[in-house]
A and B are shown apart, each in its own frame.
Chain A
Amino acid sequence: MEERRTILRTKNLKAYYSFKAFGIDRNIKALDDVTFDIYEKEIFGIAGESGCGKSTLMKVLYGLIKSPLRHIGGDAIYKINGNERSIFSFDKETLRKLRWSFMSYIPQGSMNILNPTVRIKKQFLNIIKAHKDVVNVDEAEDIAVEHIKSLGLPLEVLRSYPHQLSGGMRQRVTIALATVLKPRIIFGDEPTTALDVVVQRGVIQLLKDIQKELNNTVIMVTHDMAVHAELTDRIGIMYAGKMVEIASTREIFKEPLHPYTQYLINSLPKIGDKSEKVSVPGAPPSLANPPSGCRFHPRCPYAKQICKEQEPTFEELKPGHFVACFIATKRGVENG
């Protein structure tokens, strides 16, 4: 296998939502001590239930930190044209230039990114003109037409307003818009969640095609494990603001190490399998006051005394397979 080059490294990244309620400072620890690498040319999936911090992670990585979200510590370092730069070192103008051209973002509801009163063509032109030194409108239009054609979308969409398109087509237009400047990193925040299965399949197909053609990195957040199985190369599992496991998609599905991941995988219903599935016992913890030690211990069937007292470190148990769990690392030591 060729050597993998990192395009993004995060180190002990921490971001809290801080409020002042009734004179008391409250911190929602949405992202606590998250360390991982993302390589060039891979599709990296981030999974976890709602409120586990996966969207906050996206916001921080995309440079969208706004009060009450605050960066507390740690770093996220991008490799841009061979130079390593921290996302926190950029000023507004640099960030603006990087967005769409170096990294772009596909949100869940495509209506949030498309201007409802402007035709799709105009929206393409605006983005192209803001980032590229194009001489005239025709040149910009050529780029847009070329791009829409290469994605196999009908050219009529350029003349349409967003509301005239179906949900699936709108999502595909959003993806086209996000990739028109050939960014190196694409962030997708639940881009297929609101869609029907058949349309979802078309959108996943499109994302895969684009990644293959641009040879870039896709970071894909979704709670739907089946979408991860279909699309991603590696998966990071988040729980209560922490990264608890990272491994190749195959290993996550075939040999999950963290008890939480095991529950997630084993509780997936499958057609043709009527055996009883069980949910994770208990409820997700509050991030304002997370449990001591390992944050999963109140729900974990294997929890020991040490899990309540100490926080497990994020260790590489097998090559490329990271996990933060005392039970898993101990089992790993015994077996190996």
Chain B
Amino acid sequence: MDKNKLIEVKDLNKTFIIGGRFFGSKLVAVNKANLVMQQGKPEIFTLAGESGSGKTTLARMILGIIEPTSGHIYYKGKDVTRLRGKKEREWFKKEVQPIFQNPFEAFNPLKRVETYLFETALNFGIAKNKNEASDIVDEALKSVGLSLSEVYQRYPHELSGGQVQRTCIARALITRPSLLIADEPVSMVDASLRMSILNFFHKLKTDYGVSIIYITHDLATAYYVSDRIAIMYRGYIVELGPIEKVLTNPLHPYTQLLLDSIPKPDPDRRWNKRIKLADIEVKEYMALGCKFANRCKYATERCFKEEPYDVEIDGRKVKCFLYSDKEVSTTL
């Protein structure tokens, strides 16, 4: 495989079976997902979409927590869905580290926070003994604007939400990963501290060369921090491209609706149109053709019967028949 790619997700599928094994129905949570991040060119990549769109499932498959039903994930040229042996798995775990949504749940409230930092350093063999580990831990904490003396012997509840989340990030940095997967990392952090975490992600990218997959439903913070974005809807990546293009000039009708529905922090620009909400969600998962067709004002007969494919247009990929006539080149 191509060694220049940091990560390549190829035709990744995940099907969950709801209900019994024999009588249950299938729910395709992630459907033929494709994405590539280049090596040596760190970037922040946003996976956005509403709850149930499959963004967390996709991230968990990349992390190796969930096994994909079909498809491949290549990390630095290696197929990580088929890792063999302890050594390979450990290598992958060092390279790709998670940051979770609620920092207080990531730490045991009865354990002092630094124990996790030391455990990570020792278990991954980054440090041989406690003395060596404390230098590494201190360095990781310093890179997030804290220091070991600040968090030493402290319990999670003694730190503020922002501090705990930064400690989480410091823990992830100990193994010197090339890729961080952050699932809604700021949605539990107070508004007054949110921007400091996002600014810190930016610093990680530019100063430390770490790529980040940022999963969020908040498009405003995504715009602020990331370089590229993939919009997911009902398991499909419906639009993927540079953040500037996708969010200022959305092409897919769903992206347009999503962007239009974000409340803007400006009382002079309130909504003046009305929208129709989907009544029953499971129906859309089962629907043939384009999952958005039911709510789409441009929908034609074709949309209900055929599944749309990726169309490359204006530097991005859009999964919509609206653009298939103007297609320059379809995906190979």
Chain A residues engaging chain B, CB cutoff 8 angstroms? 49-50, 154, 166-169, 196-202, 204-205, 223-227, 229-230, 249-250, 253, 260, 263-265, 267-272, 274, 276-280, 283-284
Contact = CB atoms under 8 A, between A and B. Distances in A.
Nearest 5 CB-CB pairings of A with B: A283-B160, A196-B50, A226-B263, A280-B192, A279-B196
Nearest to B49: A196
Given A198-B257, A271-B220, A277-B224, A230 B192 contact: no
A197 B223 contact: no
Interface string B264-293: 111110110011011111000000000000
Contact of B265 (A168, A197, A268): A268
B280 A166 contact: yes
B211 interface: no
10 contacts: A169-B279, A197-B258, A200-B261, A250-B267, A265-B265, A271-B219, A271-B259, A279-B194, A284-B190, A284-B192
B1 interface: no
Most buried by A among B219, B264, B267: B267
Given A267-B191, A277-B195, A280-B193, A196 B217 contact: yes
Nearest to A239: B192
Nearest to A267: B195
Interface string B125-139: 000000000000000
B178 interface: no
B25 interface: no
A270 B274 contact: no
Contact of B281 (A166, A265, A276): A166
Contacts of B160: 283-284
B199 interface: yes
B217 A197 contact: yes
Nearest to B194: A279
B235 to A, nearest CB: 15
A196 B275 CA distance: 14
Nearest to B282: A166
Contacts of B195: 267, 269, 277-279
B221 interface: yes
Given A154-B279, A199-B277, A269 B223 contact: yes
A198 B248 contact: no
A18 B306 CA distance: 63
A268 B192 contact: no
Interface string B176-187: 000000000000
A276 B162 CA distance: 18
A199 B263 CA distance: 12
B224 A250 contact: no
A264 B190 CA distance: 10
B269 to A, nearest CB: 8
A49 B258 contact: no
Contacts of A198: 50, 257-258, 261, 275, 277
B94 to A, nearest CB: 31
A38 B29 CA distance: 46
Nearest to A205: B274
Contacts of B271: 201, 205, 230
Contacts of B196: 278-279
Contacts of B270: 229-230
B265 A225 contact: yes
A228 to B, nearest CB: 8
Most buried by A among B161, B162, B195, B219: B195
B247 interface: yes
Contacts of B258: 197-198
Contacts of A201: 261, 263, 271, 275
B111 to A, nearest CB: 21
Contacts of B191: 49, 223, 225, 264, 267
A229 B190 CA distance: 18
A230 B270 CA distance: 5
B163 interface: yes
Interface in B180-215: 190-196, 198-199
Given A49-B191, A166-B278, A272-B248, 8 more contacts: A197-B219, A197-B258, A199-B50, A199-B277, A269-B220, A271-B262, A279-B195, A279-B196
A250 B267 CA distance: 6
Most buried by B among A167, A198, A283: A198
Contact of A272 (B50, B162, B221, B223): B223
A5 B258 CA distance: 39
Contacts of A268: 220, 265
A202 B275 contact: yes
B330 interface: no
Nearest to B48: A197
Nearest to B202: A276
Interface in B123-181: 160-163
B69 interface: no
B291 to A, nearest CB: 14
B51 interface: yes
Contacts of A196: 50-51, 217
Given A271-B248, A279-B192, A279-B196, A229 B266 contact: yes
Most buried by B among A268, A276, A278: A268
A226 B194 CA distance: 15
B263 A229 contact: yes
